[in-house]
Amino acid sequence: MGTLELRVPQDRAGRFSTELFQRYQRSEKALVGTLAEMYVQGVSTRKVKTVTEALCGHSFSASAISAINKSLDEALRAFAERRLSEPYPYLILDARYEKVREAGIIISQAVLIAVAVDGDGQRQIIGVDLANRESRTSWRDFLLGLKDRGLFGVEFVVSDSHPGLKQAIREVLPGAAWQRCYVHFLRDALDHLSRKLADDCLHELRWIYDRRELVEVRRDIAAWLAKWHARHSKLCDWVEENIEETLTYYRLPLQHHKHMKSTNMLERLNQELKRRTHVVRIFPNAESCLRLVRALAVETHENWLEGTRYLNMQHLAEHKKEALRQAA
């Protein structure tokens, strides 16, 4: 019969769909998949429109690209709500903020992230969610959500010293040892010292965390306090009061110290989040923000599982046996 042209009405919101054929059926599925991948990689909708117009002579509108990206939601939700069916001895918690427009007002939303190390020594992203702010309630709900999904076997938790987070960890994971991230600790120390005087003093404090034994650490801390107290009494008093929280990692095997004394395990993920969300700058709503963050989390999670083992957990098992032997 030849070619039949169908005139499809266009509405302002771009929601019209005819039952004769699916939306975007004329586009190759590979192209549609590529559009979603470009979004995940942090390419702006304006650049996507330019690229598709150059490649195939058809430019997708921002609303069309947004509709395609929403197709990711079901898979991302399944990832974020999956059952946790194995023990996770190590848990690392952190948060970052993204700007979101809600009801015409730009607000900061906290992106709560949980990374764990499983019994095989592989890293996994086990939780990503949004909250209005970091608070005891938001962190408590986040951790309870992890437990409802099956989280168990947590022995060691690493985070910064946010009061709400610390309280939530005590309430939800009372049997786990808590490690205050030493990197955050050193940053907090700047609040008690003039930046002009920070170099030598804080460098010497930083070197203490390279010691192999806790006995060496306590000896060096005492020497550091004696050396600097006269010049920086405010800083030294603060360090003496809080530094013990940063030394919990000495309960772990020596081979795990480097990885478990800070939240640096999350730094690469945070850098990627920053790089990709910087393109958006302000998300039109919370759903779009969570979509991009979770999509990046899935990508990182899969890369970790396909990569080499992060930690040898046999070291932890042997360390426990030795501790029991000495206790007996």
pLDDT in tens, the chain (328 residues): 678 787 777 777 766 766 655 555 554 556 666 666 676 666 666 677 777 777 666 667 767 766 776 777 888 899 999 999 999 999 999 999 999 998 889 999 999 999 999 999 999 999 999 999 899 999 999 999 999 999 999 999 999 999 999 999 999 999 999 999 999 999 999 888 876 666 688 999 999 999 999 999 999 999 999 999 998 999 999 999 999 999 999 999 999 999 999 999 888 888 888 888 887 888 888 988 898 899 889 989 999 999 899 999 999 999 999 989 888 7
Joined tokens for residue 191:
């609040």
pLDDT of 103? 83
Closest by CA position to 35, among listed 77, 8, 70, 76: 70
Q: In sequence order, what E strands does 59-202 have?
A: 90-102, 105-117, 123-131, 156-159, 177-180
HSE-CB for 81 with a 13 A CA cutoff = 6
Kindly state the tokens that stand for 133: 């702010």
pLDDT at residue number 40: 67
3-state secondary structure of 73: helix
**∠ at Cα 40 (141, 30), nearest 5°?**
130
Q: Which among 94, 126, 112 is positioned nearest to 263, based on CA atoms?
A: 94
- Return the CA Rg of the chain: 25
Counting DSSP H helices and E strands in the chain, the numbers are 14, 6
Cα separation, 118 vs 91, whole angstroms: 9
Give me the pLDDT at residue 192, please: 87
Q: Please provide residue 97's backbone torsions phi and psi, each rounded to the nearest 5 degrees.
A: -120, 140
Quote the tokens at residue 47. 């650049």
